[in-house]
């Protein structure tokens, strides 16, 4: 389990504990939204990481954009920063934007 998976698992546990303890609904909603965003980003990172292992152009694109070698941390930093740069929208649209964005295309442009 990497650090990102651990962060997601810890947040899931925190949400579950708050739900069981009948915690504040607003806090539960905010943490749930954060969890959805982290899961969407992580899914895109792992997909892009796997694609880049077979594609020299993706690895080169990451390097020339200043993110360094093709590692989980560097690919995560790229996807995270590009996700933050997506147009601000409602939460569900934001998560959908992360899920539908072609981060590989961004590396090659």
The first and second tokens of residue 65, run together, are 């954009």
The first and second tokens of residue 23, run together, are 């915690």
So what's the pLDDT on residue 92? 61
Distance CA 56, CA 1 (A): 26
Domain boundaries, the chain: 3-107
pTM of the model: 0.83
Q: Is the pLDDT of residue 36 over 60?
A: yes
Averaged pLDDT of the chain: 90
Q: Is the pLDDT of residue 13 over 90?
A: yes
Q: What is the DSSP letter of 54?
A: T
So what's the pLDDT on residue 86? 76
The first and second tokens of residue 78, run together, are 């790229």
So what's the pLDDT on residue 65? 94
Distance CA 37, CA 95 (A): 6
Q: Is the pLDDT of residue 91 over 60?
A: no
Element (H, E) at 28: helix 25-53
């Amino acid at each position: 389990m990497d650090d990102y998976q651990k962060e997601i698992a810890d947040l899931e546990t925190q949400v579950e504990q708050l739900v069981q303890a009948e915690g504040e609904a607003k806090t539960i909603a905010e943490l749930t939204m954060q969890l959805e965003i982290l899961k969407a980003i992580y899914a895109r990172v792992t997909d892009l990481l796997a694609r880049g292992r077979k594609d020299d152009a993706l690895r080169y694109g990451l390097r020339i954009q200043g993110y360094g070698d093709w590692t989980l941390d560097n690919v995560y930093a790229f996807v995270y920063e590009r996700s933050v740069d997506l147009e601000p929208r409602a939460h569900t649209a934001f998560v959908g934007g992360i899920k539908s964005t072609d981060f590989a295309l961004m590396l090659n442009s």
